[in-house]
């Protein structure tokens, strides 16, 4: 099938590469000409395990193409995906300007019947807006071209995006046309070998499903962080409690790790957008608001633990940071707890030495740009030299079983503040050479 994916970020590029991998001819479009030029040269601007190889292979096979020219890219395709960003607007709602700009361009330039698929996470009712925007442009052209709008929210996880896309738990298709449903089924069927996992529903329910999924996952995280905070006050071990509750199948082990709070490109903005959607429709989303509040507080818990130990004024202290990305397996730092922790420590006079296997460029160029007193180093052990303590913020595999002897020798105070585990720290002096690690 010939398809086009508009927006070549984490979702668009992964979707485009995976559709191409299944034998489709895919054109990926982006407004950012630098990004597109790099992609044409085989330079991938994001880190996602397995993505580079998949892109290079399909570019070589000539079934994955890149362009900035949306009109040309949709001139001879059956399905066009919208996978542009829907960032948080000033008032907390999802900013639809990019989605609607794309819809407008589609209406201006489409030349044959099209199935337009919203893959971006969008507020309930957006498909109607996309439809109206395209129709307005067609009317202005006096065109009677037909098109369908479908909602196909994306559930991939950064860090495991290729695996998630290639073997999805489910493909949600919100659709009101039989023709569009059949085409979507045809496109996705190769991803299911033994049995399909399509979940078909009306468009608004599909749009809501994505928000509900993210709200549920964020709720589990904030719930467990709250339980961990109470555990600490009453002398209980949150790790043991986690195992105790996770064994109940109704609760399960996933997403109940206490830690430094959730970040990333989705949960913070999607929860804000959902509370806003609720409010606009006359409902106060109390639980989701509380989930956000717990998370906002949680992001600074680790910094509070550091000031409790070293004092409010951190002038003269240096902290080594392991991990900047919002989670392992990605270079994405959007809303990463590391941003909040590092800024808080620096504002109190501390110096920072930071290492992350993939996110250092992101930190330098965007998320910690202009923040003084940060040195970036090339290895996890370089971080330790002259640092007063180590702060573990992203659980990359290479931090799971480090050389504890080295940590003890190099650090001025042999303490690890572990952002994942929520407790103060692992005093290597007293507890021996191991993390008291959750889930291990």
Ligand X SMILES: NC(=O)c1ccc[n+]([C@@H]2O[C@H](COP(=O)([O-])OP(=O)(O)OC[C@H]3O[C@@H](n4cnc5c(N)ncnc54)[C@H](O)[C@@H]3O)[C@@H](O)[C@H]2O)c1
Q: Which residues are catalytic?
A: 266
Q: Give the nearest distance from C-beta 268 to ligand X in angstroms.
A: 11
Among 1, 22, 101, 166, binds ligand X (CB under 6 A): 101
Kindly state whether residue 222 participates in binding ligand X, applying the rule CB under 6 A. Answer: no
Choices 25-33, 131-139, 221-229, 342-350 (CB under 6 A): range interacting with ligand X: 25-33
Distances (CA, A) of 285 to 96, 204, 280: 22, 19, 11
Residue number with CB closer to ligand X (119 or 242): 119
Choices 95-103, 168-176, 285-293, 396-404 (CB under 6 A): range interacting with ligand X: 95-103
Choices 126-134, 150-158, 193-201, 375-383 (CB under 6 A): range interacting with ligand X: 150-158
The residue sitting closest to ligand X, measured at its beta carbon, is 9
Distances (CA, A) of 184 to 76, 162, 209: 17, 19, 18
- Residue 357 CA, chain-centre distance (Å), reads 17
Kindly state whether residue 85 participates in binding ligand X, applying the rule CB under 6 A. Answer: yes
Kindly state whether residue 435 participates in binding ligand X, applying the rule CB under 6 A. Answer: no
CA distance 120 to 265: 12
Kindly state whether residue 8 participates in binding ligand X, applying the rule CB under 6 A. Answer: yes
Residue number with CB closer to ligand X (30 or 356): 30
Write a three-state SS string for 396-429: CHHHCCCCHHHHHHHCCCCEEEECCCCCCCEEHH
Choices 31-39, 225-233, 251-259, 371-379 (CB under 6 A): range interacting with ligand X: 31-39
Choices 36-44, 47-55, 79-87, 417-425 (CB under 6 A): range interacting with ligand X: 79-87
Across the beta sheet with 147-151, the strand order is 64-67, 25-29, 2-6, 79-82, 114-118, 147-151, 171-174, 198-201
Q: Give the nearest distance from C-beta 29 to ligand X in angstroms.
A: 5
CA distance 321 to 390: 6
Which residues 6+ apart lie within 8 Å of 372 measured at CB? 346
Kindly state whether residue 158 participates in binding ligand X, applying the rule CB under 6 A. Answer: yes
Kindly state whether residue 328 participates in binding ligand X, applying the rule CB under 6 A. Answer: no
- Residue 177 CA, chain-centre distance (Å), reads 31
Separation of first and last alpha carbons in the chain: 45
Nearest to 417 by CA among 391, 386, 383, 384: 391
Kindly state whether residue 154 participates in binding ligand X, applying the rule CB under 6 A. Answer: yes
Kindly state whether residue 265 participates in binding ligand X, applying the rule CB under 6 A. Answer: yes
Residue number with CB closer to ligand X (75 or 307): 75
Kindly state whether residue 324 participates in binding ligand X, applying the rule CB under 6 A. Answer: no
Eight-state DSSP code of residue 226: H
Residue number with CB closer to ligand X (10 or 399): 10
Nearest to 327 by CA among 298, 297, 357, 350: 357
Among 28, 39, 59, 84, binds ligand X (CB under 6 A): 84
Residue number with CB closer to ligand X (47 or 317): 47
Among 5, 6, 360, 415, binds ligand X (CB under 6 A): 6
Kindly state whether residue 98 participates in binding ligand X, applying the rule CB under 6 A. Answer: yes
Q: Find tokens 């489409």 and name the residue.
A: 110
Report 109-128 residues binding ligand X (CB under 6 A): 120-121
CA distance 352 to 334: 20
Among 1, 31, 166, 213, binds ligand X (CB under 6 A): 31
- Residue 84 CA, chain-centre distance (Å), reads 14
Kindly state whether residue 30 participates in binding ligand X, applying the rule CB under 6 A. Answer: yes
Four-point Cα dihedral 405, 407, 410, 414, nearest 10:
-100
Eight-state DSSP code of residue 326: S
* Gyration radius from the chain CA atoms: 23
Q: Give the nearest distance from C-beta 241 to ligand X in angstroms.
A: 29
Among 9, 123, 258, 320, binds ligand X (CB under 6 A): 9
Residue number with CB closer to ligand X (270 or 418): 270
The contact set with ligand X (CB under 6 A) reads 6-12, 29-32, 35, 83-86, 98, 101-102, 120-121, 154, 156, 158, 265-266
């Amino acid at each position: 099938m010939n398809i086009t994916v508009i927006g070549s970020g984490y979702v668009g590029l992964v979707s485009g590469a995976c559709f191409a991998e299944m034998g489709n001819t895919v054109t990926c479009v982006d407004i950012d000409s630098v990004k597109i030029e790099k992609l044409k040269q085989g330079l991938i601007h994001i880190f996602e395990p397995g993505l580079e190889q998949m892109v290079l292979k399909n570019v070589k096979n000539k079934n994955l193409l890149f362009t900035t020219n949306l009109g040309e890219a949709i001139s001879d395709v059956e399905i066009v995906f919208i996978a542009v960003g829907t960032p948080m607007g000033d008032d907390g709602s999802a900013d639809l300007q990019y989605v609607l700009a794309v819809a407008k361009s589609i209406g201006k330039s489409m030349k044959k019947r099209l199935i337009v698929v919203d893959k971006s996470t969008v507020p309930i009712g957006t498909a109607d807006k996309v439809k109206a925007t395209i129709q307005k442009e067609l009317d202005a052209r006096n065109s009677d071209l037909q098109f369908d709008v479908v909602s196909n929210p994306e559930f991939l996880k950064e860090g495991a995006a290729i695996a998630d896309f290639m073997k999805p738990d489910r493909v949600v298709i919100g659709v009101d046309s039989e023709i569009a449903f059949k085409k979507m089924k045809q496109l996705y069927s190769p991803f299911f070998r033994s049995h399909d996992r399509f979940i078909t529903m009306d468009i608004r329910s599909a749009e809501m499903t994505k928000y509900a999924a993210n709200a549920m996952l964020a709720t589990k995280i904030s719930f467990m962080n709250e339980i961990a905070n109470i555990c600490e006050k009453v002398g209980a071990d949150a790790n043991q409690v986690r195992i105790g509750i996770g064994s109940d199948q109704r609760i399960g082990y996933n997403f109940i790790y206490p830690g430094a709070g959730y970040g990333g490109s989705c949960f913070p903005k999607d929860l804000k957008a959902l509370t806003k959607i609720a409010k606009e429709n006359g409902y106060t989303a109390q639980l989701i608001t509380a989930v956000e509040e717990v998370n906002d507080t949680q992001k600074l818990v680790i910094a509070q633990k550091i000031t409790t130990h070293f004092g409010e004024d951190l002038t003269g202290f240096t902290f080594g940071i392991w991990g900047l990305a919002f989670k392992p397996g990605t270079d994405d730092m959007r809303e990463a707890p590391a941003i909040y922790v590092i800024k808080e420590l620096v504002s109190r006079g501390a110096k920072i030495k930071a290492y992350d296997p993939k996110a250092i460029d992101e930190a330098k160029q965007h998320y910690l740009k202009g923040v003084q007193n940060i040195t970036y180093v090339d290895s996890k052990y370089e971080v330790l030299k002259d640092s007063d303590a180590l702060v573990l913020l992203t659980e990359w595999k290479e931090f799971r079983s480090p050389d504890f002897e080295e940590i003890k020798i190099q650090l001025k105070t042999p303490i690890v503040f572990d952002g994942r585990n929520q407790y103060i720290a692992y005093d290597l002096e007293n507890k021996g050479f191991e993390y008291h690690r959750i889930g291990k």
